[in-house]
Structure 1
Amino acid sequence: METLHFAHISDTHLTCGGSSPFMQRVAREVRDPWDNLKDCLCQLQGKALDFVLLTGDLVHEGEEEDYKALKRLLEEKLPGVPLCCAMGNHDHRLAFRRGFLGENTEDAGPYLAYTQVKGLGIITLDSPYLHGTDGTLPPDQLEFLRKSLEQKTPRGNIVILHHPVVGQQPWGPMEAPEEYFELLENGKVRGVFAGHLHCSFHGWRGGVPHYTAGSLAFGIDMEEHRAVYTDQWCYHLCRMEGDGTVSFWPVALSPSRQVLQIKPMGS
């Protein structure tokens, strides 16, 4: 099988009228996340990507028009490239469905999706839907995962969601039910792709590799008892070989490191 090339973008936190004071300060005093995304997409042009993963916190508390603007930008810079999105704890599902997907709907429920790209199954879960920042995977999402893994996929599957289950510090990852790891291990899953923690990380759980992308809005250095917010941002370039092996490398867009704020954690 041919090698697949794709990008993993997360936590763009695009600013809009409803964004938090912190995000407004980042856009005003550091750099507008919209400009970070534009720089990222300009770098991706001409790379012959097979698809792009966007793992949540797309627009920071945005409305329908904000998601429309995001979709226009992505289609302008990466025409014809399949876009696979997961919802973050700062995303609005109804606004996403109407603005990004163009659906005439009143559905504000969890966003779950399944698609295939060149024989690879891509399964989207909605980890923030019930518990926001902490995340969870309730029984209905596990059942969706189970049914999706039953589809015939020559290349196997990947799972995308917002919350990772591995991280640098024990207070960072989401706690997931054991059934989730059993499904991953038995479901020909080549990798799980997440965001949320604003730092690049790779680890194994349930016999499957898990890839967490950094943020395009601001970085977080996860120390033992605190989270250090910085002006560093990045995305991942990824490659899947014919045997399903995935490799990735972070691409940094900011060489500096300015501390924006510090939060005590996990004490």
Structure 2
Amino acid sequence: MNILHVSDIHYRQQYSTQTKGYQGMLGQMRNPLIPLTDCIKRAQENRAIDLLIISGDLTEDGSSQDYAYLKQSIQQLIGDVPILVTLGNHDIKEHFRQGWCEESSDASPYNTITDAGSFYIVSFDNSCHGFSDGVIDEAQFSWLEKSLTSCQDKPILFVTHHHLVDDQASTAAWPGAKRLFELLTSVSVCAILCGHTHHAYTGTIKGIPYFTVASMSFVGEDEGDGIVRFEERYGYNLYKIESGKLIYQASENFRPNHVLMRVDMRG
């Protein structure tokens, strides 16, 4: 199976009209559907894509209409390829369920288990809208523990939003990472996929391949004293899994060297 992994699209049909701060920065960036279109086309030229995974922050605090439009746009680009998502701290669960899932409004975590033949894909929601570092939820850990136990007959591809390694970014890892790894090392995990930092990262944790994909929107570089330099930057990852084993991984990352804005994030 060939998997295309993208994250942090931060899409909205209409961004704020503010000219300063974080919201002003968003108004300076290109429509994220432009780099997303480019990346999907480039990935399809590389390999026949069997599955698209989006690891959170599909929208920038979007409405149900934003989710519906984003899904329709992606489906037009990728055809009948299945799409698997997890949610991030900028996703509003009620709006996601209405616009993307075409369900009634529901604020509960969005977790899924997908049987992909020779392996399972477990998508774990560690996000809460407005909490940038994610949340620890005992009910979520209970769900995960039971789910991993039920999936012991095949390897697992684990997907979540928040990054799990402290030294990979200037922001701290998800606070539940240590406990999460205790659960994941009790089963066979072929890889861990996440987003959130907007910076591409490749590593191995406790023998498990670990990948953070670049964003589809912007990246923030800490310049000190609360100043963050926001730049246009985007990218995607490709994986090939055969017989439950990761046998290929590639990243393509783009740096247009376009500074969007320097923002004092202390206020």
What's the TM-score, normalizing by structure 2? 0.85
Q: Secondary structure at the match of 1:84?
A: strand
Alignment of 1:1-267 (within 5 A): 4-17=1-14, 21=18, 25-26=24-25, 28-45=27-44, 47-103=47-103, 105-129=104-128, 132-152=131-151, 155-166=154-165, 167-169=167-169, 171-176=171-176, 178-221=178-221, 228-242=229-243, 244-245=245-246, 247-258=248-259, 260-261=261-262
Contact 1:61 1:91 in 2 (8 A): yes
Query: Taking structure 1 as reference, are residues 19 and 165 closer, same or farther at Cα in structure 2, changes over 3 Å only?
Result: farther
| Alignment RMSD (CA, Å) | 2.8
Contact 2:113 2:122 in 1 (8 A): yes
Alpha-carbon shift at residue 95 of structure 1 (Å)? 1.1
Deviations 1:88-137 (A, max 9, x none): 1111111111111111x131111111111233211111112287201133
**Distance in 1 (alpha carbons) for counterparts of 2:209 and 2:164:** 11
Q: Secondary structure at the match of 2:168?
A: coil
**Distance in 1 (alpha carbons) for counterparts of 2:23 and 2:205:** 36
Point out where structure 1 has 5 or more consecutive residues left out of the alignment. Answer: none
**Distance in 2 (alpha carbons) for counterparts of 1:174 and 1:135:** 6
**Distance in 2 (alpha carbons) for counterparts of 1:172 and 1:248:** 26
**Distance in 1 (alpha carbons) for counterparts of 2:101 and 2:90:** 17
Q: Secondary structure at the match of 2:243?
A: coil
Instruction: Identify the structure with the greater strand proportion.
Output: 2
Contact 2:90 2:130 in 1 (8 A): no
Contact 1:155 1:244 in 2 (8 A): no
Q: Secondary structure at the match of 1:77?
A: helix
Alpha-carbon shift at residue 179 of structure 1 (Å)? 3.1
Contact 2:16 2:27 in 1 (8 A): no
**Distance in 2 (alpha carbons) for counterparts of 1:98 and 1:86:** 15
Contact 1:57 1:89 in 2 (8 A): yes
Q: Secondary structure at the match of 1:43?
A: helix
What's the TM-score, normalizing by structure 1? 0.85
Contact 1:7 1:49 in 2 (8 A): yes
**Distance in 2 (alpha carbons) for counterparts of 1:130 and 1:92:** 6
Q: Count matched residues.
A: 261
Amino-acid identity (%) = 26
Aligned-partner residue type, residue 116 of structure 1: D
Q: Secondary structure at the match of 1:150?
A: helix
Q: Secondary structure at the match of 2:209?
A: strand
Aligned-partner residue type, residue 109 of structure 2: P
Query: Taking structure 1 as reference, are residues 137 and 203 closer, same or farther at Cα in structure 2, changes over 3 Å only?
Result: farther
Aligned-partner residue type, residue 140 of structure 1: A
Contact 1:218 1:230 in 2 (8 A): yes
